[in-house]
Amino acid sequence: MVNSETNLKIRRKRNAVIPIAQAENKITHSSFWDKGQDFTSDHRLAFDRFLEDITSMSMSMTTGTPVQPSPSPMAPVPTMASVTPVAPVSAPTLPPVVDPIPSAPSSVSAPTSGPVTSTTVAPVASTFTSAPATETTASPVSSNLTTVAPVPPATVVPSNRTSTPTLAPTPDRASATPVPNDNCDFLLRDPALLNVLLTVSNSSLIEDESTPQGAAYRWMGNTTNTSATELCGDPAKSLSLYSLIVLYFSTEGATWTNNTGWLVTPDYCEWYGITCNADGDVTEIALDSNNLQGTPPNELGAIESLEVLSAFSNNLTGTLPAVLNWPNLKFIDVENNQLIGPAFPTTLALLTALEVYRVSNNLLTGELATAPFLQLQQLRELWIAANAVVGSIPTTISSAAGLDSFIFYNNAITGQIPTEIGLLNLTEFLAYSNLLSGPIPTPFWNNTYLVDLRLEGNDLLGTVASDIGELTYLQSLRLAGNSFTGTLPPEITRLSNLAILSVGGTSLSGTIRDAFEPFTALEFADFSQALFTGTLPASIFDVPTIKALYFNGNDLTGSIPANYASAPELYDLFLNDNALTGSIPAIVQGQLSNLTELLLDNNSLEGVMPASVCDLRVSGALTLLTADHCSEPPEVVCDCCDSCSSEVP
């Protein structure tokens, strides 16, 4: 039995007192139940009263109220059948020393005065039930403490441990700043927080203050951040806070372009780039073009509520997080960084809700065939351009039935375009600068909603099918730099929404149909370095939006159309290296005012360069003008042309 004098001494030396629950646990498990002693009812009664006095001491230390001695051990008491022994736990979590709280937590019962049938000591993995008490009992901690993530003490020095954490001394409550919260009371935050963080980080990283993990743990353990205790009732929020702080320290957060709110308040929903839902769960991390430098930490995988991760145009290095636990993730964009490793980590297949995956312009490697198309059936955008991805396009791509944007230019993708591509409804297919070969399969043209089709810079062959006329939504058609043969089908004139038409650098032949009247948005047309014959299509010069025309390097004949100066936005006109004849038409003042380059050499033109054209070098933007004026005698007399040594070959 602990008398009042002993209790008073204990209260005066509260920092030397063994924590109540630790003592109770130690006595309960080590001295009585574990040893299986056969006690009389008197012994059991004494034990009950001892536990009662231990609980009373906890209240006395907090409120300053002297402990009232318990009744004699021989007084009648309820049977010990109500006392439920529990098995020892490996790392007991200590109950709180209760300080005055402004209002009772909504999830915790208010203090009860007067006799009660039992006093519930803060549960950890199981419930400790003590004997009846006659004094006021502390508000019991909610029974969800098995998942509580408390805030660490003021100064935390992580101790080396193998299994059970070494508990830090309880700080003097007279000097501590009470912090109200709605989930839990004051706890020994250091070991409890460690138990939570060890689920996502290695202990050696947490205990090393020089690591981002150690810095994050130290920040969370700083009592100046005491409002973090509001998260102690929800480990998921504690892990979100911890993971974001690790991200901050891993990517030089102090030098970010914008780090407003970060580490100023533990309410991460107020931090720049962080979006939360109504429950305070992180749903979006958007730190685009924000000078992040370093490796994104694996701890980010602990934010299970995350739906959007966007960090393009930074200086991120290392690999993509290897541990991903984002069942709700829909959007990833880490383009324009310096990430290495596999473009398709094995954990990517776990993100079954993923709709957008953008990793272009990094240093990623791997086989395109390893892309988990079978699992990513919600995928809409796959952007892996400008990396070092190899292999062929797998036929399983059709499993991602919702895929509408496939961008993989500037890689080393080989093989033929699979016919299964025709089962999709693509709007973008950007495959330029790869090693694709063979013909374009006929089913490919079933993608009638295509807006942007770029196949230039491959080794594709065969003809351009008349089915191309079905792609009436096309705004960009680029087939240049392949081995296509045959003629341009007349159906191409149905593509009146085109802004870019590029078929140069091929073996296409025949005439260029003079039927560009429907093209009201065309800006760029490249027919260069091919085998086209016939005359220049005059109607293309009447397209009001045309800016660049390249007809050079063909076998075009006839004269320059008189309306060649009608295009008000034209800045490039390359007619060189053909078989054009006749004279160069004069222009009206004000025409071709935006023209910067006019190449007319290596033709059979003759006469004198019109003065109205020469005036463009003074009044306009013309910087390069060539003609056949260097022969003796010159075929075209031109005093304003560039010198022969500077002419474009």
With cut-offs at 50, 70 and 90, classify the pLDDT of residue 561.
very high
Cα distances (angstroms) measured from residue 496 to each of 322, 491, 500, 519: 47, 11, 11, 5
Q: What is the mean pLDDT of residues 167-192?
A: 41
Q: Pairing relation of β-strands 128-129 and 120-121?
A: antiparallel
Distance of CA 127 to the CA centre of its chain: 42
Name the one residue in this structure whose structure tokens are 């007349």: 490
Checking if the pLDDT of 227 tops 70, the result is: no
Checking if the pLDDT of 157 tops 50, the result is: no
Choose the weakest-confidence range: 69-73, 421-425, 519-523. Answer: 69-73
Please check whether residues 126 and 61 belong to one and the same domain.
Answer: yes
pLDDT in tens, 111-146: 333 333 333 333 333 333 333 333 333 333 333 333
pLDDT in tens, 16-56: 333 434 434 433 333 333 334 444 445 445 445 544 554 45
Please check whether residues 12 and 137 belong to one and the same domain.
Answer: yes
Please check whether residues 29 and 99 belong to one and the same domain.
Answer: yes
Checking if the pLDDT of 255 tops 50, the result is: yes
The neighbour count for residue 79, using CB atoms within 10 Å, is 8
Checking if the pLDDT of 243 tops 80, the result is: yes
Q: Pairing relation of β-strands 476-478 and 500-502?
A: parallel
Select from 613, 605, 456 the least CA-distant residue to 529.
456
Higher pLDDT, 528 or 141: 528
Say which amino acid occupies 146.
T
Residue 224's pLDDT is 57
Checking if the pLDDT of 223 tops 80, the result is: no
Residue 45's pLDDT is 52
Percent of the chain with pLDDT over 70: 68
Rounded to whole angstroms, the Cα distance separating 416 from 459 reads 10
Residue 608's pLDDT is 96
Residue 356's pLDDT is 97
Residue 273's pLDDT is 98
Q: What is the mean pLDDT of residues 353-371?
A: 96
For residue 540, report the phi and psi dihedrals to the nearest 5 degrees.
-70, -25
With cut-offs at 50, 70 and 90, classify the pLDDT of residue 530.
very high
For residue 254, what are its two tokens?
């102090």
User: Is 284 inside any structural domain?
Assistant: no
Please check whether residues 491 and 599 belong to one and the same domain.
Answer: no
Checking if the pLDDT of 64 tops 60, the result is: no
Cα distances (angstroms) measured from residue 273 to each of 87, 270, 339: 47, 9, 21
Q: Is the peptide bond before 633 cis (omega within 30 degrees of 0)?
A: yes
Please check whether residues 618 and 499 belong to one and the same domain.
Answer: no
Rounded to whole angstroms, the Cα distance separating 149 from 239 reads 9
User: Is 161 inside any structural domain?
Assistant: no
Please check whether residues 517 and 575 belong to one and the same domain.
Answer: no
Residue 93's pLDDT is 39
Burial readout 219-243 (b: 16 or more C-beta within 10 A, e: otherwise)? bbbebebbebbbbbbbbbbbbbbbb
Please check whether residues 564 and 645 belong to one and the same domain.
Answer: yes
Q: Which domain holds residue 561?
A: 557-649
The dihedral region occupied by 396, where left means phi > 0, alpha psi between -120 and 50, and beta the remainder, is: alpha
Checking if the pLDDT of 187 tops 70, the result is: no
Residue 469's pLDDT is 96
Rounded to whole angstroms, the Cα distance separating 464 from 488 reads 7
User: Is 186 inside any structural domain?
Assistant: no
Checking if the pLDDT of 148 tops 70, the result is: no
User: Is 406 inside any structural domain?
Assistant: no
Rounded to whole angstroms, the Cα distance separating 392 from 382 reads 15
Select from 193, 370, 463, 320 the least CA-distant residue to 203.
193
Please check whether residues 616 and 492 belong to one and the same domain.
Answer: no
Percent of the chain with pLDDT over 90: 60
Checking if the pLDDT of 566 tops 60, the result is: yes
List Cβ neighbours of 13 (8 Å cut-off, separation of 6 or more): none
HEC profile for 11-58? Answer: HHCHHHCCCHHHHHHHHHHHHHHCCCCCCCHHHHHHHHHHHHHHHHHH
User: Is 307 inside any structural domain?
Assistant: no
Q: What is the mean pLDDT of residues 540-556?
A: 98
The CA radius of gyration of the chain, in Å to the nearest whole number, is: 39
pLDDT in tens, 284-339: 999 999 999 999 999 999 999 999 999 999 999 999 887 677 889 999 999 999 99
The neighbour count for residue 610, using CB atoms within 10 Å, is 15
Choose the weakest-confidence range: 189-193, 200-204, 259-263, 636-640. Answer: 189-193
Please check whether residues 612 and 647 belong to one and the same domain.
Answer: yes
User: Is 316 inside any structural domain?
Assistant: no
Give me the sheet containing 555-556, strands edge to edge: 509-511, 531-534, 555-556
Checking if the pLDDT of 400 tops 60, the result is: yes
Q: Is 317:340 a contact under the CB 8 Å cutoff?
A: yes
Q: Is 627:609 a contact under the CB 8 Å cutoff?
A: yes
Residue 230, CA atoms < 13 Å, CB-side half-sphere: 13
User: Is 456 inside any structural domain?
Assistant: no
Say which amino acid occupies 227.
S
Residue 6, CA atoms < 13 Å, CB-side half-sphere: 9
DSSP E strand stretches across 341-404: 356-358, 365-367, 381-383, 388-392
Please check whether residues 632 and 585 belong to one and the same domain.
Answer: yes
Q: Is 139:109 a contact under the CB 8 Å cutoff?
A: yes
User: Is 578 inside any structural domain?
Assistant: yes
Q: Is 116:76 a contact under the CB 8 Å cutoff?
A: no
DSSP letter for 203, please: H
Q: Pairing relation of β-strands 293-294 and 282-286?
A: unpaired
Q: Please spell the DSSP secondary structure of 400-456, one letter per residue.
A: STT--EEE--SSEEEEPPPGGGGGS--SEEE--SSEEEEPPPGGGGG-TT-SEEE--
Residue 305's pLDDT is 93
Please check whether residues 124 and 24 belong to one and the same domain.
Answer: yes
Residue 196's pLDDT is 82
pLDDT in tens, 605-629: 999 999 999 999 998 899 999 999 8
Select from 307, 393, 320 the least CA-distant residue to 359.
320
Please check whether residues 15 and 131 belong to one and the same domain.
Answer: yes
Residue 430, CA atoms < 13 Å, CB-side half-sphere: 19
Select from 149, 261, 154 the least CA-distant residue to 218.
154
Higher pLDDT, 451 or 53: 451
The answer to whether the predicted template modeling score (pTM) of the entire model surpasses 0.85 is no
Higher pLDDT, 419 or 233: 419
Cα distances (angstroms) measured from residue 257 to each of 271, 290, 293, 302: 13, 5, 11, 25
Three-state secondary structure call for residue 190: helix
Cα distances (angstroms) measured from residue 631 to each of 58, 178, 602: 108, 95, 11
For residue 646, what are its two tokens?
């500077």
Question: What's the total number of domains in the chain?
Answer: 3
